[in-house]
Amino acid sequence: MSEEGLGARLERESAQVECPLCRHRQWLSGPTGRCGQCGSEIELFESREEAGRTLERLSQEGRVSFLVDAGKDLWAVVANRKFGGGR
């Protein structure tokens, strides 16, 4: 399913993701969002493989990130907040 398809799916039925950094449960009605408590970035995927590739990329960038089973055949990648400025 395309990202547009995922967006429509989430508009009909939100997905709940528990942030592994602060344990806050966040409901998402779109493919991307933020934890309402700690501000971690959350991105949803329909395949574990695609989520795994995103997790790998974030890890290579030095970001603390986690792969989370969001239920309903959805996978979430949760990454710590990114602060401005580059190296």
In a domain, 40, yes or no: yes
Could you give the angle at the alpha carbon of 26 between the alpha carbons of 60 and 15, nearest 5°? 90
Q: Is residue 64 part of a domain?
A: yes
Helix (H, G, I), strand (E, B) or coil at 11: helix
The count of domains in the chain is 1
86, part of any domain? no
Using left for φ > 0, alpha for ψ between -120 and 50, and beta otherwise, residue 73 falls in left
Within a domain: 12:
yes
Q: Is 66 contained in some domain?
A: yes
pLDDT per residue as tens, the chain (87 positions)? 455 689 999 999 999 999 999 999 999 999 999 999 999 999 999 999 999 999 999 999 989 999 999 999 999 999 997 766 554
87 lies in some domain: no
Domain membership of residue 58 (yes or no) is yes
Could you tell me the residue range of the domain that residue 41 belongs to? 3-79
C-alpha gyration radius of the chain: 13
In a domain, 84, yes or no: no
